[in-house]
């Protein structure tokens, strides 16, 4: 149970690109954000732009603690101080849902350790929306983060993921840095069995959203998706 | 690419229990639903209640096709007819997001096969919100559906999931039929290592939402969560 004198750590999803916030966030989120003073974010500039889009009343009032790979655990601890003093904090990432393929997990872990209440709010995650839209196996799926950068290692990993689909009947999802989408797609077509189903989901929730599922044999006959430098989620299943 | 003359299959998330829809669904969903005539749902009564809550203009106008375990593939095919005739369809489950721990995947699969556009809308999923709030590993996680009902088999499976956490650094999530929560919780405490972290997330998005993460050793010293007959997501990680 949370100690009631503490504040709450709200996990605030953020849009996945340029869009109308009312299309992707419940009204509750937009109202709650306006009541917060303390935020933990990846990037102050992007966080301020998001608050502005939420019609946050007085941006100079908002206080940001910034998480990145260089922040040490002791510093992360200090980010929780407002919570211990009874103030709520909003944790947001640059895009999508905090804690899913995104920094923030360390802060959430520390909050649980101190018995601070953690409340996740509903919002867009390209990974979750891709899993929904895949039509693969919603009872058994895994998200594997990024594939290895090195080609041999990546091919080995693709084969391994296909084997996991077979062995556990588990749909496998992964992402790639957008400028490497074409390389990964090429390796998928070369490595996977012709009957394996491949999901390519690009710019989810944006105006040019494109979600396609085809067997490898059909992808080979068609042109590649238009995913150059566009955030893309890949998924495979049998 | 979708054939533009076809309608779109919208995946419509539904609330996880009694709550204000504006708290959990973007305005876009509530507006889009009102424009649809054709729906695919699990249960007509619950689907109608949801439409009513969305202030759907004329419920007698809404047409429902019902999916359940007994529907054969040929019948599912016929559910897509309005799409082929240019009408949009809303696919909804009883609670949460279609396609995630829920029926609907078969319909989505058929839609992709026919080149019908599939558009997932943002909404609440107890599983996704639990993954966010766990603070476990957002770069590597698996959802495993239900645990086996039989006790020996369930204990074996719990051990297997803990091994997957160790071997792949992959957080493992699963659910249970609410009236069996106490049995599963007991088996988790008996089977897992004292240092393994256990997430118990109950009634997500509802007024008595409770999300707790503790090592097994700490759970053993505390009373069990109040999860009797309440939908609960479990998760483990090291």
CATH of the domain at B167: 3.30.950.10
Quick one: A112 and A143 in the same domain? no
Nearest Cα neighbor of B204 from A47, A122, A20 is A122
Partners of B145 on chain A (C-beta within 8 Å) are: 139-140
Co-location of B56 and B41 in the same domain: yes
Prediction pTM value: 0.94
Mean pLDDT of chain B: 94
B134 inside domain: yes
When pLDDT is averaged across residues A113-117 and rounded to a whole number, the result is: 95
| Whole-number percent of chain A with pLDDT over 70 | 98
Residue of B nearest to A138 (CA): B100
Domain extent at residue B218? 126-237
Inspect the interface and report whether the beta carbons of A111 and B135 lie closer than 8 Å.
Answer: yes
Q: Rounded to an integer, what distance in angstroms lies between the CA atom of residue B218 and that of residue B182?
A: 17
**Count of helix runs (H) and strand runs (E) in chain B:** 10, 10
Can you point out the beta strands (E) in B13-68? 38-41, 63-66
Q: Which of B91, B120, B149 is the last residue of a domain?
A: B120
pLDDT in tens, B172-227: 999 999 999 999 999 999 999 999 999 999 999 999 999 999 999 999 998 889 99
Q: Please tell me whether residues A213 and A194 are part of one structural domain.
A: yes
Domain boundary among B67, B90, B120: B120
The reply to whether A2 falls in a domain is no
Q: Which two tokens mark B130?
A: 């639990």
Residue A229 host element (H or E): none
Q: Kindly state whether residues B142 and B111 are assigned to the same domain.
A: no
Chain B CB within 8 Å of residue A57 CB: no
Give B79 to chain A, closest Cα distance, Å. 16
Assess if residue B3 is contained within a domain. no
Q: Are residues B141 and B102 part of one domain?
A: no
Work out the pLDDT band at B4, boundaries 50, 70, 90: low
**Residue of A11, A132, A145 with shortest CB distance to B11:** A132
Q: Residue A215: what pLDDT?
A: 97
ipTM value: 0.94
- Contact across the interface for A143 and B140, Cβ inside 8 Å: yes
Does A104 sit within 8 Å of B120, measured CB to CB? no
Helix axes B181-191, B151-168, angle to 10 degrees: 60
Among A100, A119, A139, the residue with its CB nearest the CB of B145 is A139
Q: What residue in A sits closest to B215 (Cα-Cα)?
A: A113
- Tens-digit pLDDT profile for residues B149-168: 999 999 999 999 999 999 99
- Same domain, yes or no: A154 and A98: no
Q: Is residue A104 part of a domain?
A: yes
Handedness of CA A115, A116, A122, A124 (dihedral sign): negative
B61-107: pLDDT as tens digits: 999 999 987 888 888 999 999 999 999 999 998 889 998 887 789 99
Residue A38 lies in a domain: yes
Tell me if B105 is assigned to some domain.
yes
CB contact under 8 A, B123 and A119: no
Mean residue pLDDT across chain A: 93
- Specify whether B111 is located in the same domain as B142: no
Is there a domain that residue B71 lies in? yes
Nearest to B10 by CA among A227, A209, A215, A127: A209
Contact residues on chain A for B108, CB-CB shorter than 8 A: 133-135
| Whether residue B19 has pLDDT greater than 50 | yes
> Within the 182-211 window of chain A, which residues sit less than 8 Å (CB to CB) from chain B?
204-205, 209-211
Contact indicator for B166, B238 with CB cutoff of 8 Å: yes
A169 and A116 share one domain: no
How distant is the Cα of A58 from the closest Cα of chain B, in angstroms? 24
A114–chain B nearest CA distance, Å: 10
Q: Where are the alpha helices (DSSP H) in chain A?
A: 21-24, 27-35, 44-53, 73-79, 81-84, 105-113, 126-134, 151-168, 181-191, 216-221
Are residues A151 and A82 part of one domain? no
> Looking at the structure, do residues B70 and B85 belong to the same domain, yes or no?
yes
Do both B136 and B177 map to the same domain?
yes
Show residues of chain A in contact with B80, CB under 8 Å.
Answer: none
Residues 65-94 of A with CB under 8 A from B: none
Please indicate, yes or no, whether residues B221 and B143 belong to a single structural domain of this protein: yes
Interface contact A46, partner B, CB < 8 A: no
Which residues lie closer than 8 Å to A9 by C-beta, 6 or more apart? A80, A83, A88, A89, A91, A107, A108, A111, A116, A117, A118, A119
Contact list, B131 vs chain A (CB under 8 Å): 99-100
Per the domain annotation, does B20 fall within a domain?
yes
Q: Can you give the CATH number for the domain in which B86 is found?
A: 3.40.1010.10
At A185-222, the pLDDT tens digits run 999 999 999 999 999 999 999 999 999 999 999 999 98
CB B11 within 8 A of CB B35: no
Integer Cα distance of A201 and A224 in angstroms: 12
pLDDT at B2 (0 to 100): 46
């Amino acid at each position: 149970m949370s100690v009631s004198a503490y504040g709450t750590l709200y996990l605030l999803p953020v849009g996945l690109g340029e869009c109308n916030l009312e299309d992707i966030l419940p009204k509750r989120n937009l109202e709650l954000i306006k009541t917060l003073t303390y935020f933990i974010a990846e990037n102050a500039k992007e966080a301020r732009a998001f608050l502005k889009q939420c019609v946050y009343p007085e941006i100079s009032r908002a206080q940001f603690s910034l998480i990145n790979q260089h922040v040490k655990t002791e510093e992360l601890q200090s980010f929780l101080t407002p919570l211990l003093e009874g103030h709520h904090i909003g944790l947001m990432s640059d895009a999508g849902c905090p804690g899913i393929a995104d920094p923030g997990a360390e802060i959430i872990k520390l909050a649980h350790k101190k018995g601070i209440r953690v409340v996740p709010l509903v919002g867009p995650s390209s990974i979750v929306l891709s899993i929904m839209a895949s039509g693969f196996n919603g009872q058994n799926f895994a998200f594997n983060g990024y594939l290895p950068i090195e080609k041999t290692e990546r091919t080995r990993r693709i084969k391994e993921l296909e084997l996991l689909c077979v062995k556990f009947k588990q749909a496998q999802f992964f992402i790639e840095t957008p400028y490497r989408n074409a390389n990964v797609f090429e390796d998928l077509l070369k490595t996977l069995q012709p009957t394996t189903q491949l999901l390519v989901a690009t710019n989810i929730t944006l105006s040019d959203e494109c979600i396609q599922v085809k067997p490898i044999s059909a992808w080979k006959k068609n042109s590649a998706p238009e995913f150059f430098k566009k955030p893309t989620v890949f998924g495979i299943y049998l």
